[in-house]
């Protein structure tokens, strides 16, 4: 029926998908390889045929996802336009990702202490360095063009990320309903703050 290769790839993909939904829901240590295997409709032996270890699976899952996000962010960095426009574009694309994919982005901050050595480093350099660095680039352009006040761009990038996470609902059971409302909140707050000013609508 299926070729061996196709079948193998499909199984690996099923394992990754199962791992995503489980690791998003619970800490690394609280997800067992049996749980992942069962969710992927395979046995533990089968899982270990595809991945050398639990850590290996976690890293494959994360670095695969990172690559997708890196490409997504790259598009916004490459585009012309104002800093605000590019951040809007990037955020809109990001908010339209499925819930699970967005959750993966901040999994690192929760689980990173579980790892050590180069595994830990690769996670940090992907999600804590490379992705925010792309946002930083856009913000630095904004500073150069005098659209944004001069300030440490890295801190501003992280501030932006934090605001996005708030509207996603990471911080509580607080969520703005639709993507446009979320966008408006983040961009409005980031660029204009909450103060009532004579010239317009903040927040």
Partner DNA sequence: GTATTAACCGACCGGTCAGTCGGTCGGTAG
Partner DNA sequence: CTACCGACCGACTGACCGGTCGGTTAATAC
Half-sphere exposure of 113 (CA within 13 A, CB side): 3
d(CA 142, CA 83): 5
Q: Which lies closer to DNA via its Cβ, residue 46 or residue 81?
A: 46
Find which of its own copies, DNA, none residue 45 binds, CB within 5 to 8 Å per kind. DNA
Q: Which lies closer to DNA via its Cβ, residue 4 or residue 195?
A: 4
Phi, psi of 68 (to 5 degrees): -60, -50
Nearest distance, CB of residue 31 and DNA, angstroms: 6
Nearest distance, CB of residue 61 and its own copies, angstroms: 18
Among 132, 134, 135, 141, binds its own copies (CB under 8 A): 132
Comparing CA positions, the residue from 101, 124, 107 lying closest to residue 30 is: 107
Q: Which sign, positive or negative, has the C-alpha torsion 7, 9, 13, 19? A: positive
d(CA 61, CA 28): 12
Nearest distance, CB of residue 11 and its own copies, angstroms: 27
Q: Which residues in this chain contact its own copies in the complex, by CB under 8 A?
A: 25-30, 109-111, 113-114, 128-129, 132, 142, 146-149, 151-152, 154-156, 158-159, 161-163, 165-167, 170-174, 176, 185, 188-196, 201-203
């Amino acid at each position: 029926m299926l070729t061996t290769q196709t079948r193998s790839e499909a199984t690996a993909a099923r394992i990754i998908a199962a791992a995503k939904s489980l690791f998003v829901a619970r800490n690394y240590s609280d997800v067992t390889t049996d749980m992942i295997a069962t969710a992927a409709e395979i046995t533990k032996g089968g899982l270990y045929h595809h991945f050398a270890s639990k850590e290996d699976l976690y890293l494959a899952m994360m670095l695969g996802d990172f690559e997708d996000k890196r490409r997504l962010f790259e598009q916004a960095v490459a585009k012309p336009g104002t800093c605000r426009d590019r951040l809007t574009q990037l955020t809109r694309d990001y908010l339209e990702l499925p819930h699970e994919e967005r959750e993966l982005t901040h999994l690192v901050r929760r689980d990173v202490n579980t790892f050590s050595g180069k595994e830990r480093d690769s996670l940090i350099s992907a999600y804590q360095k490379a992705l925010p660095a792309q946002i930083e680039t856009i913000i630095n352009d904004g500073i150069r063009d005098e659209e944004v006040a001069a300030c440490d761009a890295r801190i501003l990038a992280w501030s932006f990320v934090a605001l996005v996470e708030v509207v996603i609902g990471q911080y509580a059971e607080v969520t703005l309903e639709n993507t446009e409302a979320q966008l408006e909140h983040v961009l409005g707050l980031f660029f204009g703050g909450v103060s009532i000013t004579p010239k317009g609508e903040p927040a």
